[in-house]
Amino acid sequence: MNTTKHYGPYGGQYVAETLMGPLNELAAAYLEAKKDPEFQREFTALLKDYVGRESPITVCNRLSAKLGGATIVLKREDLNHTGAHKVNNTIGQALLAKRMGKKRLIAETGAGMHGVATATVAALLGMPCEVYMGAIDVKRQSPNVERMKMLGATVHSIEEGSATLKDAMNEALRDWVTNCDDTFYVIGTAAGPYPYPEMVKDFQSVIGKEARRQCLEKFGRLPDQAIACVGGGSNAIGLFAGFMDDADVKLVGVEAAGKGIATGEHAASINGGRLGVLHGAKTMLLQTADGNVIDTYSVSAGLDYPGVGPEHCHLHDTGRAEYSSITDDEAIAAFDDLCRYEGIIPALESSHALAEAIKRAPSLPKDTILLVCLSGRGDKDLENILAYKKSRSTIQNI
């Protein structure tokens, strides 16, 4: 196997023999598109005219002053059309699908955000779209199911296994094996078999490239740390991509510690998982002693991927990036802070990255710049947050 398909011991293509052909076809088409100025022009034009890029960077003046240390700066992916970074990737993959002559898009989704982002670009490009979603998630995330339907997509509710994201991924792969001639499988994070981790990183690297240029323009220098939350790792690898060669910029990924890593109820694959194979790649993942994939837990539904992109595992091993974790309580506190001090309602996922910056800021000098990827907006989370706060106040009143 070609060594570029791996990140250290991670990555690769651990799929059924029948999928090797489609994966090779995809990799060849992608490498060609990557070099084609016309493809890049089309991609960039949609990011500008449809998504509304570039997204600004925002200095958190009041929040930073309150913390009394480093300056926190946000990269505003929450201002994208559809309210998060995911659309950068689905536009790229859908354009590639069209270029390859594929007629139909399929996707897996957990919290439903990737399903919505795929349904969105399917409508934009006039392609039918079918989304696989675990039956439990369909129930938990009904507003996103309605959004997908509104956008014209078909949602398949999966009853198998634990009826969550990992079962939806298996179903999507099964569909792809059967229909690969006319079907493109849109993966929602920087994971899955090669070439997906590389492709998704490239499409999301617009985050880091823009932020790097914007920091140079605004501050005359690079940030000291670039911090992003890690579910499967696409917004983080997109941010990191802009600074990978800048050895002085610390890269920090933040996993969801849920109720605490020690409780076992979390979504921290690097900090709390073990090496295994998931979604066609070797990676760190949450599993039982005998290798069964465990469902994740986090107050933020979008950090629900039970594995993590293979490049993150490698960046962790080599020390180029560090990976911390933030609990539900810490993320909610950071969410409140950003609302009250900056007038920005962040996604709960992004609140994990923000919480890490809030932890670090007080002990750092004022001229230290902490660049945080605000991967999405929090309107989608309001109900969750209210329910969470209600349950906490009940516990505290006992």
Ligand X SMILES: *Cc1c(COP(=O)(O)O)cnc(C)c1O
Query: Does position 303 bind ligand X by CB under 6 A?
Result: yes
Q: 10 Å Cβ neighbour count for 107?
A: 29
Q: Which is nearer to ligand X, 6 or 114 (CB)?
A: 114
CB of 374 to ligand X, least distance (A): 8
Question: Rounded to the nearest whole angstrom, what is the least distance from the CB of residue 58 to ligand X in the complex?
Answer: 16
Beta carbon nearer to ligand X, 180 or 348: 348
- H/E element holding 253? strand 250-258
Greatest distance between any 2 Cα atoms in the chain: 63
Element (H, E) at 62: helix 61-67
Residue least distant from ligand X (Cβ):
376
Segment interacting with ligand X (CB under 6 A) among 22-30, 125-133, 144-152, 231-239 = 231-239
Residue 44 has which token pair? 């960039």
Specify the 3-state DSSP secondary structure of 65. Answer: helix
Tell the smallest beta-carbon distance from residue 378 to ligand X (Å): 9
Among 69, 134, 193, 232, binds ligand X (CB under 6 A): 232
Q: 10 Å Cβ neighbour count for 62?
A: 13
Q: Which is nearer to ligand X, 86 or 316 (CB)?
A: 86
* Complex with ligand X: residue 69 or 327, whichever CB lies closer: 327
Per-residue x/- track, 153-192, ligand X (CB under 6 A): ------------------------------------x---
The answer to whether the beta carbons of residues 119 and 131 sit under 8 Å apart is yes
HSE-up of residue 373 (Cα within 13 Å, Cβ side): 34
Q: Which of 55, 205, 225, 234 is the binder for ligand X (CB under 6 A)? A: 234
Q: Closest Cα to residue 156, out of 137, 122, 130? A: 130
Examine residue 22 and tell whether it contacts ligand X (CB under 6 A): no
- Binding flag, residue 197, ligand X (CB under 6 A): no
Which is closer to ligand X, CB of 69 or CB of 272? 272
Whether 85 is catalytic: yes
Residue 309 tokens, joined: 């992109």
CB 168 within 8 A of CB 143: no
Active site residue 60: yes
Stretch in the footprint of ligand X (CB under 6 A) among 34-42, 124-132, 163-171, 229-237: 229-237
State the Cα–Cα distance between residues 288 and 118, nearest whole angstrom: 32
User: Which CB, 78 or 130, lies closer to ligand X?
Assistant: 78
Q: Which of 84, 138, 285, 326 binds ligand X (CB under 6 A)?
A: 84
Is 86 one of the binding residues for ligand X (CB under 6 A)? Answer: yes
Based on the shown chain and the rule CB under 6 A, indicate whether residue 269 belongs to the binding site for ligand X.
Answer: no
| Residue 179: CB minimum distance to ligand X, A | 25
> With binding defined as CB under 6 A, does residue 313 bind ligand X?
no
> CB-based contacts of 262: which residues, under 8 Å, 6+ apart?
none
Contact between 350 and ligand X by CB under 6 A: the answer reads yes
DSSP E strands in 16-88: the ranges are: 57-59, 71-76
Nearest to 358 by CA among 18, 74, 156: 74
Tally of CA atoms within 13 A in the half-sphere of 297 that contains its CB:
11
Q: Quick one: which of 209, 230, 211, 228 has its CA closest to 219?
A: 211
- Packing angle, helices 37-46 and 17-35, rounded to 10: 90
User: Under rule CB under 6 A, which residues in 92-131 are in contact with ligand X?
Assistant: 113
Looking at the DSSP assignment, which residues form a beta bridge with residue 322?
A: 252
Query: What does the alpha-carbon distance between residue 131 and residue 109 come to, in Å, rounded to a whole number?
Result: 7
Query: Which of 6, 81, 85, 312 is an active site residue?
Result: 85
229 binds ligand X (CB under 6 A): yes
Instruction: Tell me phi and psi for residue 285, to 5 degrees.
Output: -150, 160
Task: Reduce the DSSP state of residue 195 to 3 states and report it.
Answer: coil
Token representation of residue 274:
């073990």
Is 254 a binding residue for ligand X by CB under 6 A? The answer is: no
Stretch that binds ligand X, among 31-39, 178-186, 232-240, 357-365 (CB under 6 A): 232-240
Q: How many residues bind ligand X (CB under 6 A)?
A: 19
Q: Which one of residues 376, 381, 385, 388 is an interface residue with ligand X (CB under 6 A)? A: 376
| Nearer Cβ to ligand X (236/361) | 236
Active site residues: 60, 85
Per CB under 6 A, residues contacting ligand X are 84, 86, 113, 189, 229-236, 302-303, 347, 349-350, 375-376
